[in-house]
Structure 1
Amino acid sequence: MAIITTRTGETIADDKDMTLRHLAETNRSRLANANLRGADLRDANLWDADLRGADMSGALLDGAWLDFADMTRATLRGASMRDATPAGASLRDADLTDVDLRDADLTGANLDSATLTGALLDGADMTDAILDGPILDTPGPIGPDTPWQAPGIGM
């Protein structure tokens, strides 16, 4: 059974035949403030999804299509987003602590004031990403294949 709730406890989905992946497979999913902790959303189509304030801590988002998704103030602590495509997505003020973003396509993503402490960014494409004021404390995981260099981060 899939039960998806907001942080205030309001039930968004409660259907014994509905899987979380099925719910997420709709473009422009409205999942603001949803509790998606530990959810398996690998390869899900979350294009243009509203995930503002969602808690996706520990979620599996490997290969997910997150183009233009709004993840403003979302919590993704410890999530895996390998090979995900959050191109053009808003990750403003998002908590990306210890997130695995290796080989992710973050082209044009807005990471303004995002926390990237401990994030793995090897091979991530951050071309034209907005990096105004992100919290970056990533000793080691930024590799020579990462096509950007933030101030104060050595390569």
Structure 2
Amino acid sequence: MSKRSAGILLYRLDGPSVLVVHPGGPFFKNKDAGAWSLPKGEHEPDEDPRAAALREFTEETGMTLHDRELLPLGEVRMRSGKTITAWAAEGEFDVDSLRSNTFEIEWPPRSGRRQSFPEVDRALWCDLDTAREKLNAAQAPFIDRLVELLR
């Protein structure tokens, strides 16, 4: 069974604009276009994806989205085979207040040393065209679906 993730695309009606996050760690350090994501994370097959999306948003940003109306954005399939289910929520987030969980890996490879890195190292509010450029290409349809829902 392929992996599943769930996430939330936070948006503001000022344009509109959306919040995207940059993955932390050494593999994405110098990557920009196509490397960003909506705040999301993996969940177990028997876990409610909506609850997982709310949890993962908090883990990756440090901001709790209290139960609110979430607009369903459907699913996309990544090249890796992972399926992402997403919702949109209107809200505000101060990118300077970003506080992400961390993960640990052996770095540098085969060094025997383990280092800790943030899951997300940057957050950015951007217009929809910029978001389409920055997001992993498989996640860009979430932007188009948000536009349709806001019409």
Normalized per residue, the structure richer in helix is 2
TM bin (shorter chain)? under 0.3
Q: What TM-score comes out, normalization by structure 1 length?
A: 0.21
Q: What TM-score comes out, normalization by structure 2 length?
A: 0.22
Answer 1 or 2: higher relative contact order, Cα 8 Å, separation at least 6: 2
Normalized per residue, the structure richer in strand is 2
